[in-house]
Chain A
Amino acid sequence: MIPSLLVQTWAVFVKELQLLRRDRGGLAVLFIMPVVLVLIVCLVQDNILKVSGATTVKLLLVDHDQGALGQTLLHQLEEGGSFSVTRVENEIDSPKAQHDVGDGIWQVGVYLPVGVSEELSRRAFAQIKQGFSELSKQEKLSTPSPTLTIEYFFDPAVQGGLQAGIRGLLHQLVASEALKLKMDAFQTLLPAQLERHISAELGPMFAQVLAQKPLKLNLPDSNEPLLQAVLANNEDKFTMPTSVQHNVPAWTLFGIFFIILPLSGVLLQERSHGVLPRLLLAPGQRAGLLIGRLLAYLMLCMMQFAIMTAVGFYVLPRLGTDILQIGGHGGALFVVALCAGLTACGFGLLLGVIAQSEQQAIMTAAVAIVISAALGGIMVPVYMMPAAMQTISVISPLGWGLDACQVLFLRGGTLSDIVPQLSTMLGCFTICLLISWRKLRHLNG
């Protein structure tokens, strides 16, 4: 009796699952290791991203002033959504605030001393008034007073780029507030100054006429900018890379590629224990032996994918990170995982027929996966690597998968946008399969 392809495929599929069920070490590597890795790395990197500004910056506003400046700063900082502002009044002083920020409780601190709003307003008024005085040569210049200051301080862990950005923002906010106050003063002082000027130059009669019809200034709100720099990227399409968005797909791919270990191990076991000749002598098509095996291991890969996605959805947010956002890319992501699984299975088959011993296969696979992961941007994103390393990274199969995930997650791509990455993975799988098949035939004469 010659069994059908389906029967053979089923027999091999069941057998492979039975073998895997008994391989507790292998299952731990496939399922527990990537989950533990993604939890640890996400939590660690979440903090790194916080100090590099990829997430909301925690800012302490110590407002001893309790005036308009504090309200303006609070409003402006919270408006952009980049800052999570905690405002305190007299509870803590500047040294205590600096200490707390230095300890990393907050990433930035801003201290507004008592009376700064009032003094700022007074000085703005005085400056404009002084300007008119110089213009009219009637009022004396007042003695210049020391520059009014507010203090800001950083957590030392906050990286330079983020520090520069925050520094620039605070300077801009302060300058904007000062300008606004000057404009208010100008608006208030201009009519009287004009009246004085006309009276002096044209006589009191003209001044009386002007007094009957006083000049009304309706300067536009200084908050309405004449020129604005706007972000050209579509916010709906592009997403900021968070630790979860990077690490969940990255470590899922890492875990998927560890399928190489049990797959090559079973093949080597079959070769060393003499099972292979018995398999090859079975009637029917040999494709069943291959398809059943691939289906079993692919199923495991997809289970890894499902578990890791669930970790991103349900576990990581409970530990304080962002939630994994798949958007509408669930189907495309599934295809990426499937292709990555096929690529990993291809390598597993290849290693299983090329390696001389299980020990050799384990060592080769582990080293190759870790190097491929490093090159492919699993540990450090490729765009953060030096140019030479970025060039080399294109050889990493894990990099192909991760690149596809990033196109979907960060660049708002669709399935058609990741066809090159999917094709590369499928091409690699096909090449591995053909070499393995050829080598397998050679092994048996």
Chain B
Amino acid sequence: MNGQVFLRAQGLRKNYPGMTKPAVAELNIDLKRGELLGLLGPNGAGKTTTISMLSTLISPDSGTLNIANIDALQFPQRMRSMLGVVPQGLALYPTLTLEENLRFFGRLYGLSGSILRQRIDECSEFVALADMLKKTINTFSGGMKRRANLAAGIVHQPELLFLDEPTVGIDPQSRHQILANLRELNQQGMTMVYTTHYMDEVQQLCSRVMIVDGGTVLTQGGVTALLKQHKCDHLEELFLRLTGKQLRD
């Protein structure tokens, strides 16, 4: 199945009320099954809006979106069970245990009984939190919370996973663990869209990268090809050359 276009977005545009410029303008993406796309951009570049539109959380003002040959804008419910999200925030209930969180999100996706039990065990083991299932999230460290967040995003075994800066603010060990997890999931065939500010992560992980700013795509392609094309030594140099060095607060 790999190699087929799994997600196709054409002319996606989103304008928030009261804003003079669109958050995303004319976004075109073709994402193949099994691909891991790195979405890079400075703060306010439109990354989160892009992910929100691609995951059908928000509706674009114009454009089309097809996921697994389904018109995702017209029939979002038909393909939501194959989507997973790991949002930028914690996205878990801090006063519930990890098991209760995973059970809740699993149930929301229709899992039950032994299958749900199995998935809870697998996911907690996958993110190295099997011995923390009975602990409440608010007792977790920052890195554990991020790993728990990933576990909640994959408990229903999505085919397409959106990750919005999943490693922000954690120690190198947890970051290493999460990256290893993502690589493994990708090798198992999971398609991913990954946003981050860490260029090294993208360089390690992603088969393709897209740099956006001001709501438009500045460039996209394989990491090596892009570096060669723009005559840059590393991704950060390319990123700064395309987006500028002025501060984005």
Contact = CB atoms under 8 A, between A and B. Distances in A.
B58 A444 contact: yes
Interface stretch (A13-21, A195-203, A243-251, A397-405): A13-21
A281 interface: yes
A278 B110 contact: no
A283 B80 contact: yes
Interface stretch (B1-9, B93-101, B183-191): B93-101
A225 interface: no
A10 B104 CA distance: 10
A82 B242 CA distance: 92
B96 A277 contact: no
A283 B77 contact: yes
Contacts of B16: 445
Contact of A7 (B77, B80, B112, B136): B112
Contact of A280 (B57, B89, B94): B57
14 contacts: A1-B81, A1-B110, A2-B77, A7-B107, A15-B96, A273-B90, A275-B92, A278-B85, A278-B152, A282-B109, A283-B80, A283-B110, A444-B57, A445-B58
A273 B91 contact: yes
A160 interface: no
Q: How large is the interface on A (under 10, 10 to 19, 20 to 34, 35 or more residues)?
A: 20 to 34
A18 B100 contact: yes
Given A2-B77, A274-B88, A445-B57, A279 B110 contact: no
A216 interface: no
Contacts of B83: 281
B91 A277 contact: yes
Interface of B: 14, 16, 49, 52, 55-59, 77-78, 80-81, 83, 85, 87-96, 100, 104-105, 107-112, 136, 152-153
Interface in A229-285: 269, 272-275, 277-284
Given A15-B96, A282-B80, A277 B57 contact: yes
Q: Give the residue among B108, B112, B153 with the most A Cβ atoms within 10 A.
A: B108
Interface string A1-28: 1111001101110110011001100000
Given A18-B100, A22-B95, A445 B108 contact: no
Contacts of B100: 15, 18
Given A2-B77, A274-B89, A281 B56 contact: yes
A340 B105 CA distance: 31
B110 A15 contact: no
Nearest to B106: A11
Q: Give the residue among A12, A273, A284, A444 with the most B Cβ atoms within 10 A.
A: A273
A14 B104 contact: yes
A277 B94 CA distance: 16
A281 B110 contact: no
A277 B48 CA distance: 12
Given A2-B110, A11-B108, A282-B80, A445 B94 contact: no
Given A1-B110, A3-B107, A11-B104, A278 B95 contact: no
B81 A272 contact: no
Contacts of A19: 93, 95-96
Contacts of A15: 93, 96, 100, 104
The 3 closest A-B pairs by CB, nearest first: A274-B89, A445-B58, A11-B107
Nearest to B162: A281
Contacts of B92: 273, 275
A274 B107 contact: no
A29 to B, nearest CB: 16
Contacts of B56: 281
Given A2-B81, A23-B95, A10 B89 contact: no
Nearest to A20: B95
Contacts of B91: 273-275, 277-278
Q: Give the residue among A1, A14, A272 with the most B Cβ atoms within 10 A.
A: A1
Contacts of A445: 14, 16, 49, 52, 57-59
Interface in A11-65: 11-12, 14-15, 18-19, 22-23
B110 A7 contact: yes
